[in-house]
């Protein structure tokens, strides 16, 4: 490793910052002209992250309030359904505190994600090699990796400038032993982990390999111990975050399947698949949005040229660096192939992801292909080290060679003019401060994320949502609305008004007819969100005290009914019907009948199934119980039209 160089801020030292900033602005062009009134790429994830940046600017980071973001209302802890993005608040929140919009904060972060990634990669390679030419090669290779073009919609995956700083802190600490480098390592690790959950789990694979490779175990094993202690110390703030995700997702019955992970795992052709936005490369069509893992050509050519023409210059400490980052790149690529089709099978032996997949957290990560960002970092560092060897081998034309390599590296990852979109418009009317907002159709992701974006403008909780997971109650709401069941609207407006916007589109006529059919709905007008209706507050459901469960002698099924026989005639006050989420088996209404003799039946209660299922999903997302309150009916036999759920699905309660 090269000795540390003078890092004072001289005009010459500011040149890389200016170069990377100009290139970042050019790469994102014409976004710099529209920082406050356009978003980049498609609307879904960019508007979601914009919403998260807005929310994080209004709450204390990692507090209880932070997790209760007002989307997917009335769900608690909705933020645990997606990336919280608290690490990005270091930049985005001050912008908003000083009057900038959330969209401005998002777009500034997008430009910074290129600029600072380049600067951080530059600083790392400069420290490792002492070569400015090599530093530019490494910094540009990381900042303009073709993989970034495929992730343009995922800002939290692009904010990666902390990763080179993590490695810079480790290398510098092993060089001179100063504790300030441990601070750089620890803070950068913590902020990178708070920015993106994938990197919280993926980056440790690289770091453990780094410690194992670079630690002189016989002479200075204490350094590794010190690094691990610092790592643990700066990981402590992450533990409550991990625990929150674990408890909320377990409570909601959420998780990833092996099939989910295989869908977003790499295959050989993935590395020939280019992002559609790349200007100079056009490869095969991606199978999924995550499948474009083309690494570019130039960095690989630089590495090959060093191996062929400057092998002697790659000897010594430089060889150790070069070998590690080539090996680490291959390891990260291996990880992108994800798990084997079957756990604990013979195939698992050569699927590297399965080596770590049994650890807590890894089985919940849907996209193993995102390991590729770490592969691009290792490739960039290896290319920088290779360029330093070439520059030493050919000192006279080194600047020309470095310039050619830099231009080619930029060309590898250059994109067409960045696609921009117009953000959703606000409601052109005032809304009651205690209102709730639902935008239809709820099945449309654009409508859902637009509703969240408008939530920043009107400040009311929104019933729509867009996240990595879809909670059970949202699926049930969607199911009930498809059946045009108005009972869910009643449940959503108990105690407060409900605003319903019908978006323009192919389904607008049917949702307009549905809302026009609600006798107490009033149309307020037409806005940027479409037709807007208001429904007045509904009264709260009558609270009834429930006694102990009654034990039937037997429960049978008969022509679509669950029939329970009690030991003696009893007063029935409530019925629970546990659906386990299989609400598609429900009829339009849930009916409870009672009988004294099992022959003559009297209807004791009948309610629309949609509202009951929505309330049940919010109370218990796993069993989704439907509670039907019965006005103290007498009977020895009780039946409910829920035979598909099985004889163990019904519980009868007395007074």
Give residue-wise pLDDT tens across range 24-60.
999 999 999 999 999 998 899 999 999 999 999 999 9
What pLDDT was estimated at residue 163? 98
Q: Left (φ > 0), alpha (ψ -120 to 50) or beta: where does 29 sit? A: beta
Query: Quick one: pLDDT band at residue 10, thresholds 50, 70, 90?
Result: low
Query: Quick one: pLDDT band at residue 3, thresholds 50, 70, 90?
Result: very low
Mean per-residue pLDDT for 70-77? Answer: 97
Cα separation, 193 vs 449, in Å, equals 25
Which residues, listed in sequence order, are joined to residue 640 by a DSSP beta bridge?
562, 592
Cα separation, 102 vs 426, in Å, equals 14
End-to-end distance of the chain based on CA atoms, in angstroms? 79
What pLDDT was estimated at residue 1? 46
Asked if the model's pLDDT at residue 11 lies above 80, the reply is no
Question: Which of the residue ranges 76-80, 350-354, 462-466 would you say has the lowest mean pLDDT?
Answer: 350-354
Mean per-residue pLDDT for 114-140? Answer: 97
What percent of the chain lies above the pLDDT cut of 90?
A: 90
Asked if the model's pLDDT at residue 485 lies above 50, the reply is yes
What percent of the chain lies above the pLDDT cut of 70?
A: 98
Cα separation, 105 vs 85, in Å, equals 13
Cα separation, 578 vs 627, in Å, equals 9
Topology, domain 549-653: Jelly Rolls (2.60.120)
The total of other beta-carbon atoms located within 10 Å of residue 450's CB is 25
What pLDDT was estimated at residue 491? 97
From residue 125, how far is each of 390, 407, 634 by CA, in Å?
14, 18, 81
- Sign, Cα dihedral of 453, 454, 456, 459: negative
Task: Say whether 161 sits in a helix, a strand or coil.
Answer: coil
Task: Say whether 231 sits in a helix, a strand or coil.
Answer: helix
CA atoms within 13 A on the CB side of 185: 28
Question: Which of the residue ranges 195-209, 266-280, 346-360 would you say has the lowest mean pLDDT?
Answer: 346-360
The total of other beta-carbon atoms located within 10 Å of residue 389's CB is 27
H/E stretch holding 400 reads helix 398-413
H/E stretch holding 461 reads none
Query: Quick one: pLDDT band at residue 5, thresholds 50, 70, 90?
Result: very low
């Amino acid at each position: 490793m090269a000795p540390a160089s003078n890092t004072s801020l001289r005009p010459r030292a500011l040149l890389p910052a200016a170069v990377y900033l100009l290139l970042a602005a050019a790469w994102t062009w014409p976004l710099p002209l529209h920082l406050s009134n356009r978003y980049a790429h498609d609307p879904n994830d960019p508007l979601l992250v914009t919403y998260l940046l807005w929310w994080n600017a209004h709450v204390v980071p990692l507090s209880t309030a932070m997790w209760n973001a007002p989307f997917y209302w009335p769900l608690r802890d909705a933020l645990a359904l997606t990336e919280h993005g608290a690490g990005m608040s270091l930049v985005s929140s001050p912008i908003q505190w000083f009057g900038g919009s959330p969209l401005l904060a998002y777009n500034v972060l997008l430009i910074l994600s290129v600029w600072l990634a380049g600067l951080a990669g530059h600083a790392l390679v400069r420290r490792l090699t002492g070569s400015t030419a090599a530093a530019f090669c490494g910094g540009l290779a990381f900042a303009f990796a073709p993989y970034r073009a495929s992730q343009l919609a995922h800002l939290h995956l692009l904010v990666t400038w902390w990763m080179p700083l993590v490695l810079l802190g480790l290398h510098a600490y092993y060089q001179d032993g100063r504790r300030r480098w441990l601070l750089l390592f620890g803070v950068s690790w913590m902020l990178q982990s708070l920015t993106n959950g994938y990197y919280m789990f993926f980056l440790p694979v690289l770091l453990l390999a780094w410690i194992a490779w670079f630690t002189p175990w016989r002479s200075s094993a204490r350094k590794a111990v010190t690094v691990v202690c610092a790592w643990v110390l700066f990981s402590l703030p992450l533990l409550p975050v991990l625990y929150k995700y674990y408890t909320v997702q377990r409570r909601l019955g959420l998780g990833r399947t092996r099939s989910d992970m295989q869908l977003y795992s790499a295959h050989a052709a993935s590395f020939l698949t280019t992002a559609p936005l790349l200007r100079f490369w056009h490869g095969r069509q991606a199978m999924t949005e995550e499948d474009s893992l083309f690494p570019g050509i130039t960095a690989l050519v630089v590495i090959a040229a060093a191996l062929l023409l400057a092998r002697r210059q790659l000897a010594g400490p430089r060889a150790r660096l070069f070998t590690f980052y080539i090996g680490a790149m291959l390891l990260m690529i291996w990880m992108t192939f994800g798990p084997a089709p079957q756990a604990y099978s013979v195939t698992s032996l050569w699927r590297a992801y399965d080596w770590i997949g049994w650890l807590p957290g890894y089985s919940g990560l849907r996209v193993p292909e995102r390991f590729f960002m770490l592969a691009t970092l290792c490739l960039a560092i290896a290319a920088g080290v290779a360029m330093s060897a070439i520059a030493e081998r050919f000192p006279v034309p080194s600047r020309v060679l470095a310039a050619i390599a830099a231009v080619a590296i930029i060309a590898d990852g250059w994109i067409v003019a960045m696609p921009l979109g117009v953000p959703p418009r606000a409601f052109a009317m005032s809304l009651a401060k205690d209102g709730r907002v639902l935008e239809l159709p709820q099945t449309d992701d654009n409508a859902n994320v637009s509703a969240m974006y408008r939530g920043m403008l009107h400040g009311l909780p929104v019933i729509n949502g867009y996240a990595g997971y879809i909670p059970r109650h949202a699926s049930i709401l969607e199911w009930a609305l498809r059946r045009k069941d108005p009972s869910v609207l009643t449940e959503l407006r108990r105690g407060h008004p409900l605003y319903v916007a019908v978006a323009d589109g192919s389904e607008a006529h049917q949702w307009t007819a549905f809302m026009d059919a609600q006798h107490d709905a009033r149309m307020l007008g037409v806005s940027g969100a479409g037709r807007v209706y208001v429904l007045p507050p509904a009264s709260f459901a009558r609270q009834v005290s429930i006694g102990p469960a009654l034990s039937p002698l037997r429960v049978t099924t008969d022509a679509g009914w669950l029939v329970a026989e009690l030991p003696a005639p009893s007063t029935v006050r409530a019925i629970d019907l546990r659906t386990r989420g299989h609400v598609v088996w429900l009829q339009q209404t849930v009916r409870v009948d009672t009988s004294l003799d099992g022959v003559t039946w009297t209807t004791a209660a009948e309610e629309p199934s949609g509202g009951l299922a929505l309330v049940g999903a919010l109370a218990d997302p796993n069993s989704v119980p439907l509670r039907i309150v019965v006005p103290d009916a007498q009977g020895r036999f009780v039946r409910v039209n829920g035979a598909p759920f099985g004889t163990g699905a019904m519980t009868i309660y007395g007074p």
